[in-house]
């Protein structure tokens, strides 16, 4: 389950940042997760429970914000939300358009004390 590893590294840097800021506890972690990141939100919750054990984030809540997929077509200079995984432009039907948003797996902010 790769979510655990991904969550572990996110939490590692969160803990590091919190300690640098002089915090003693992480109360909450807010994350941005892209719809095309390949991460399953349900397993994220589980991964968080595993990763936070024994850290200063032990009692922290997790909030995830789902970021929708946005593509860009260079032909039409158009940004669009793809209907499927082909990322096809709705105007010129060019496939595999550039993914501008939706692969996020990142820390948005921390609630520390
Ligand atoms: Zn196009």
DSSP letters of 17-30? HHHHTT-S-EEEEE
Q: How far, in Å, from the CA of 4 to the mean position of ligand 1?
A: 38
Tell how far the Cα of 71 is from the centroid of ligand 1, in angstroms.
10
- Ligand 1 centre and the CA of 103: distance in Å? 21
Q: Residue 45 is encoded by which pair of tokens?
A: 């919750």
Residues 6+ apart with CB under 8 A from 66: 33, 34, 35, 41
Our CA angle for 67, 111, 103, nearest 5°, is 20
pLDDT tens, residue by residue, 87-111: 999 999 999 999 999 999 999 999 9
Question: Domains of the chain, with CATH numbers?
Answer: 2-68+102-112 (3.30.2320.50)
pLDDT, tens digit (0-9, with 9 covering 90-100), for 28-75? 999 999 999 999 888 899 999 999 999 999 999 999 999 999 999 999
Residues with CB under 5 A from ligand 1 (ion): 73, 75-76, 89, 91-92, 94
**Do 102 and 68 touch, CB atoms closer than 8 A?**
yes
């Amino acid at each position: 389950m790769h979510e655990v590893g991904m969550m572990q590294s996110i939490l590692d840097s969160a803990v590091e940042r919190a300690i640098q800021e002089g915090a003693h506890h992480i109360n909450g972690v807010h994350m941005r997760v892209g719809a095309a990141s390949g991460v399953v939100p349900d397993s994220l919750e589980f991964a968080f429970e595993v990763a936070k054990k024994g850290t200063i984030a032990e009692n922290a809540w997790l909030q995830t914000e789902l970021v929708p997929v946005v593509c860009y077509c260079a032909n039409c200079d158009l940004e669009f939300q793809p209907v499927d995984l082909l990322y096809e432009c709705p105007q010129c039907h060019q496939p595999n358009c550039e993914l501008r948003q939706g692969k996020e797996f990142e820390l948005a902010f921390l609630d520390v004390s």
